[in-house]
Amino acid sequence: MSDGLNILTDLAIIVLLIAGFWQFRTPKGALRGNLTAAVALLCTLIVVLYRHSYFDLSIIVSAFALGSLAGSVVALRATMIQIPAMIAFQHGAGGVAAFIVSAVELYRYPATVLSIGRISGFLGVVIGAATFSASMIASGKLANRIKQTPTILPLHDGLILGTLLLIITLGTVSWNATGSPLIYYLVSLVFCSIVLGVVFSVRVGGADMPVLISFLNATAGLAAAFCGIIIQNRLLIACGATVAASGSILTRAMCNAMNRSLVKVLIGIRPKTNGVDSVKAKRAQDEPEALSEKVATAAALPVKEDYFSRAVEAVRNARSVVIVPGYGMALAQAQFDVAKLGQLLETMGKSVCYVVHPVAGRMPGHMNVLLAEAEVDYDHLREMESFNPQFQSTDLALVVGACDVVNSAAIEIEGTPISGMPILMVHEARNVIICNLDEKPGYSGVPNPLYKDPRVILLIGDAKESVNRLLRSLSNP
Amino acid sequence: MLDIFFMLGVFVFSFAIGHVLIWKVPQLLHTPLMSMTNAISAVTVVGALLLFASETTLADAVLGAAAIALAAFNLVGGFLITDRMLRLFKDRSNGL
């Protein structure tokens, strides 16, 4: 093929890829978009296979077959609740591929690679390896295999900075290296980057996971793009760059939804700076202990009877109901029961919709997928910004397993860790029912004033159980 | 040298287009979006293939095969799970 034709084919594939993104506006369009992007990648593979002649075709084919078989099995078996962990794991797999390719290229063609290519190669190795280890930690956290809370090591900042300096030094000294010294340098570079990824990601946890996973999405794309620069492949660069763009946008959207800056999330600053705040924050941390007795009694008496009958009555009398699902719903696996309740309420002639906070769940948009799996129509799903003004005219807000995202302290009290975070204005609805496991504050540690509001009907206990009880009472009048 | 500028241009252009398009993706589809881009980032499989375009030593071949397998895992798994996820989204007209 001539050079011009090569460029045209590449361009056509990039356009195809962009068309894939273009269709991501509605679920049906997205289904086509995903297919379009898959075709774009298939064309990329075919073009690359066609343009070059290969040694060891059998190795290529068998490795590819093995990888895709494993990928398909995992993809077909994963449940929707496991999606975040699985995606994090795949980011890691992508990271490995990127650092291996960059490292081998650097080693094989030290002389012919241009200096920009060389820098890209080093960046590909570092970002790829760090993405790999950070993703493995994230995946472990998301799958509950390792502790979800942030782990802060002694001198954590120093550790990160030290590793970074070491990486830069290694990169510099290996600049002109060739042969076996270069191998040692590259191996230590990979090792240091892996350490960096681990140290970096253990400090992020809990409600910040959506930011971490989006960030790793961006770095996986970036690693692919740098890998593309060193092997001088336009398609790799284009694909990597679009992924990096997507990841960075999601990261920003998640940070906005929590009113936190990316730097603060990633270097683990929980907002509790000046004196007054730290007292408040401390109190917030103490309070659960004081509450635990109350909770113990609440758990002993299955949901207080008067509360429960009030809840049933509130549901019966409501004409418009908005359901606010939180991650607690997913943990209790209550989404199917919640969906059933929603359908029942509709057959009773009430208007029902679901409002999802952007950071509900463990990755951007996760809650929507869980509700879709439970067969909630997507035209029932509302976004926070558009629905917030409508809470005032809503008869009943039913909160299932959500705490921080409906915590009015965020807008009423200054100086708490969540102050300024956009929340769902549940407290403006005429009646509120909360089905949460306990009265403890959410991940932020800030007590939720809603729990003390006399208007609010608290159904403490397993969300699935509470929702099912509501279902039973409502279906037998 | 021209090539390098051309490649940087490709990077900037794709990043910019991606930015414009992705701002328009509704929150509803953020998880499938990330899942799809995750699959796209497995385009590194191309790089892994190209390692085999010249004579390989044993170490190169082992590393290259590992890179191909992992990237293929990411690529095929990513597109499949995105497809599965998007099929769950139903509306009244074809749902229920």
Mutation target for A interface from B21, B35, B43, B91: give the one with most A CBs within 10 A: B43
In this predicted structure, what is the pLDDT of residue A286? 38
Q: CA angle, corner A288, sides to A284 and A290, nearest 5?
A: 105
Q: Which long-range contacts link A114-120 to residues 24+ away (Cβ below 8 Å)?
A: A114/B1, A114/B4, A116/A229, A116/B4, A117/A229, A117/A230, A117/A232, A117/B4, A118/A175, A118/A230, A120/A226, A120/A227, A120/A229, A120/A230
In this predicted structure, what is the pLDDT of residue A112? 61
Mean pLDDT in residue range B65-77: 95
Q: Which two tokens stand for residue A183?
A: 């191998």
User: Distance (Å, rounded) from C-alpha B1 to C-alpha A386?
Assistant: 50
CA distance A29 to chain B (A): 10
pLDDT in tens, A368-403: 999 999 999 988 999 998 999 999 999 999 999 888
Mutation target for A interface from B8, B22, B30: give the one with most A CBs within 10 A: B30
Cβ atoms of B81 and B35 within 8 Å: the answer is: yes
Q: Name the DSSP class of B25.
A: S
User: Distance (Å, rounded) from C-alpha A95 to C-alpha A128?
Assistant: 4
Q: Name the DSSP class of A193.
A: H
State whether the Cα torsion A300-A301-A303-A304 is positive or negative: negative
> What is the ipTM, given to two decimal places?
0.92
Q: In this complex, is the C-beta atom of B12 within 8 Å of any C-beta atom belonging to chain A?
A: yes
pLDDT in tens, A452-464: 888 888 888 888 8
Cβ atoms of B67 and B51 within 8 Å: the answer is: yes
By Cβ distance, the residue of A37, A74, A378 closest to B28 is A378
CA distance B61 to chain A (A): 8
In this predicted structure, what is the pLDDT of residue A273? 36
CA distance A268 to chain B (A): 24
User: Distance (Å, rounded) from C-alpha A357 to C-alpha A335?
Assistant: 15
Q: In this complex, is the C-beta atom of B9 within 8 Å of any C-beta atom belonging to chain A?
A: no
- Other residues' Cβ atoms within 10 Å of the Cβ of residue A312: 17
> Domain spans of chain A?
78-266, 275-475
Q: In this complex, is the C-beta atom of B61 within 8 Å of any C-beta atom belonging to chain A?
A: yes
B45 has pLDDT over 90: yes
Q: Looking at the annotation, which residues of A are catalytic?
A: 404
Q: Which residues of chain A lie closer than 8 angstroms to B88, CB-CB? A: 80, 369, 372-373
Judged by CB atoms closer than 8 Å, whether chains meet at A38 and B39 is answered as yes
Q: In this complex, is the C-beta atom of B44 within 8 Å of any C-beta atom belonging to chain A?
A: yes
Judged by CB atoms closer than 8 Å, whether chains meet at A243 and B23 is answered as no
Residue A332 CA, distance from chain mean position: 19
User: Distance (Å, rounded) from C-alpha A329 to C-alpha A436?
Assistant: 8
User: Per CATH, is A275-475 categorized as 3.40.190.10?
Assistant: no
Radius of gyration of chain A (CA): 26
Nearest to B71 by CA among B46, B54, B90: B46
Low-confidence ranges of chain A (pLDDT < 70): 1-2, 110-114, 268-305, 477
In this predicted structure, what is the pLDDT of residue A268? 67
Judged by CB atoms closer than 8 Å, whether chains meet at A100 and B63 is answered as yes
Q: Which two tokens stand for residue A118?
A: 């060389």
Mean pLDDT in residue range B32-41: 95
Q: In this complex, is the C-beta atom of B62 within 8 Å of any C-beta atom belonging to chain A?
A: no
In this predicted structure, what is the pLDDT of residue A282? 39
Neighbouring residues of A409: CB distance < 8 A, sequence distance ≥ 6: A416, A418, A419, A446, A447, A448, A449
By Cβ distance, the residue of A224, A364, A373 closest to B44 is A224
Nearest to A470 by CA among A326, A294, A307: A307
- End-to-end Cα spacing for chain B: 59
In this predicted structure, what is the pLDDT of residue A113? 60
Judged by CB atoms closer than 8 Å, whether chains meet at A233 and B50 is answered as yes
Q: Which residues of chain B lie closer than 8 angstroms to A75, CB-CB? A: 76-78, 80-81, 84
In this predicted structure, what is the pLDDT of residue B2? 56
Mutation target for B interface from A36, A115, A378: give the one with most B CBs within 10 A: A378
In this predicted structure, what is the pLDDT of residue A276? 35
Cβ atoms of A47 and A13 within 8 Å: the answer is: yes
φ/ψ (deg, to 5) at A381: -90, 130
* AA letter at A404: D
CA distance B5 to chain A (A): 10
Q: Which residues of chain B lie closer than 8 angstroms to A38, CB-CB? A: 39, 79
Nearest to A227 by CA among A324, A318, A109, A95: A95
Q: Name the DSSP class of B29.
A: G
pLDDT class of B42 with cuts at 50, 70, 90? very high
Q: Which two tokens stand for residue A135?
A: 């993703």
User: Distance (Å, rounded) from C-alpha A181 to C-alpha B86?
Assistant: 49
Q: Which two tokens stand for residue A428?
A: 């403006």
